[in-house]
Amino acid sequence: MSEKYPWGHSNPFNDYSNFLRNKFNNRVQKLSLNVGFTCPNRDGSKGSGGCTFCNNNTFNPDYCEPGMSITDQLNTGISFFRDRYPDQLYLAYFQAYTNTYGPLDQLKRLYQEALDHSKITGLVVGTRPDCLPDELISYFTELQKKHYVVVELGIESTNEETLKKVNRGHTFEETRDAILKLHKAGLPVGGHLIMGLPGESDEMMLKHSEVLSKLPLSYLKLHQLQYVKGSDMGRKFEKDPSGFRVLQPEEYTNLVIAFLERLNPAIVVERLASQAPYNLLMAPRWGLKNFQLVEIVRKQMKERNTWQGRLFDQD
């Protein structure tokens, strides 16, 4: 393969940071927000207890306190980067729980407060595929005329049995329909996928790549299944870990590379791994930072002379 890949640089996968830099001609940072939403899989409308793998505290920065205003959360987040990157741009990331689950007027006020901040150039709104009313999609489409707006869906798996097993509360068909509807409305769509969910073989996980590659996804986040305190799965793992698979760094790296080889090269890869707070994480405890694992993947792909989409089947 030539030194430059179809996405215009020498990284063997179509990574998010380079994509954003090219799109905005600047460095761009996402700032997580927690504005006190809940989830239909927790409040009883779809289910209770949430997804078996979930403890939302594992991926919210400390400054994301729902008691703080959106403006205060953004200002606190920006303060971490201001000295080092004084001119960079920011995306307001509505991350915690289901950020389209509420009255439309309330949602509009929250999104607008973020967009009114002078440093914010757009929104990333994390949600479930079953929480996207048509009126909200129309509103996002209007916002997109002036701001960059991305809807990020929790996909987690393309396998219907797995989704039932982890108490996800929606089907993959609902995910597929949401992706197509958002794309038709002209909105970029992100997705989140967990590698290593109970009962999923390597072959099943690689199948996710093939299924998602045929859909108009703009971005994709991957991360390893983590067993965390405060989740239903974490409690069961703590009681008897023998029935659970814990992915080790080498096997996860090989799995990610095989996944990327099959992935549509047009899909921007936003993340390859995640790290829950150490005080909540039971397993796997790799002792690697996310950027270190990314470097391992990048180096091994170069050594193997492979790249994202090398085995992608367009038919």
Q: Tell me which residues of the chain have a pLDDT lower than 50.
A: 1-2
Strands 227-228 and 28-33: unpaired
Whether 28 and 20 have beta carbons less than 8 Å apart is answered as yes
What pLDDT sits at residue 67? Answer: 73
Alpha carbon distance 57, 42 (integer Å): 15
User: What residues contact 216, with CB distance under 8 A and at least 6 apart?
Assistant: 179, 180, 183, 189
- Per-residue model confidence as pLDDT tens digits over 126-152: 999 998 999 999 999 999 999 999 999
- DSSP category for residue 152: E
Burial of 287 (C-beta count, 10 Å sphere; 0-12/13-18/19+): exposed
Pick the closest to residue 260 from 270, 250, 245 (CA basis).
270
Alpha carbon distance 175, 158 (integer Å): 9
Alpha carbon distance 135, 108 (integer Å): 11
Whether 88 and 29 have beta carbons less than 8 Å apart is answered as yes
What pLDDT sits at residue 2? Answer: 47
Alpha carbon distance 247, 223 (integer Å): 11
What pLDDT sits at residue 66? Answer: 61
Task: Locate 133 and state its tokens.
Answer: 């009313």
What pLDDT sits at residue 61? Answer: 60
- Per-residue model confidence as pLDDT tens digits over 85-104: 999 999 999 988 788 888 89
Pick the closest to residue 76 from 106, 34, 20 (CA basis).
34
Q: Residue 31 forms beta bridges with which residues?
A: 92
User: Domains, the chain, ranges and CATH?
Assistant: 16-303 (3.80.30.30)
- DSSP category for residue 257: H
Helices (H), 94-248: 104-115, 134-143, 160-165, 172-184, 202-213, 232-239
